[in-house]
Amino acid sequence: MKKCIAIAIAVLLLAVSVLPAFAENIDSPHATKANYIVEVEEEEGGHVDVDYKTGVDDDGNQTIVITAVPKDGYTFAGWIINGSYTTNGSLSDAVLELIISGDISVRATYIKNAEGSTSPSETPTQAPTESRVVDDSTKSPQTGSADFAPYVVLVLSAAALIAVIATAKRRKADK
């Protein structure tokens, strides 16, 4: 009988051990440290360099610097920015520091110079900056193989417990 009780307790402990699998998903407490996406819309007269100064802070803000680089024969005219941002500069500044709180798109506008005049580039031409993706999920990652696994373990544990009790009663009746 002691063996049956020990086996029953082991099966019960096994059944209780799957309870964390039923735990509810919780919201993540802070923003991720990945960078927001800065989509650069290309213009004929030049390109835009993006420099990520900081990662995303706990308030969800990130500091970037955008630089307009005109091609020869073009002059920078201004910025067109879509998205949530703040700046202390002017949209007519070729180099602009922005504090962003989400994905944005930026476009530098350029004016073609009159024939015979040229505009020196402020910085050498560089390859476009790559965008980075933000993990904006608010759920903790799910672990385990599937949602039905805890139920399978519970059913098998209950079946094992019933089998142990039935075997113990049969042995007792045979004696």
Same domain, 123 and 169: no
Same domain, 59 and 123: yes
Same domain, 123 and 49: yes
- How much is the pLDDT for 159? 83
Same domain, 6 and 90: no
Same domain, 103 and 62: yes
Same domain, 157 and 99: no
Same domain, 54 and 122: yes
What are 155's two structure tokens?
Answer: 């059913």
How many domains does the chain divide into?
A: 2
pLDDT in tens, 131-145: 455 555 555 555 555
Same domain, 94 and 162: no
- How much is the pLDDT for 58? 81
**Widest distance between CA atoms in the chain:** 114
Same domain, 58 and 75: yes
Same domain, 9 and 66: no
- Domain interval for residue 153: 2-25+142-174
What are 91's two structure tokens?
Answer: 């949209």
Across the chain, where does the E strand assignment appear?
38-40, 46-52, 62-70, 74-82, 85-86, 95-100, 104-112
Answering whether pTM is above 0.85, one says: no
Same domain, 123 and 155: no
- How much is the pLDDT for 126? 42
- How much is the pLDDT for 43? 84
Find, among 130, 125, 120, 132, the residue nearest to 47 by Cα.
Answer: 125
Same domain, 68 and 47: yes
The rounded distance, in Å, linking the Cα atoms of 98 and 81 is: 10
Find, among 63, 72, 142, the residue nearest to 110 by Cα.
Answer: 72
Low-confidence ranges of the chain (pLDDT < 70): 1, 15, 18-34, 116-150
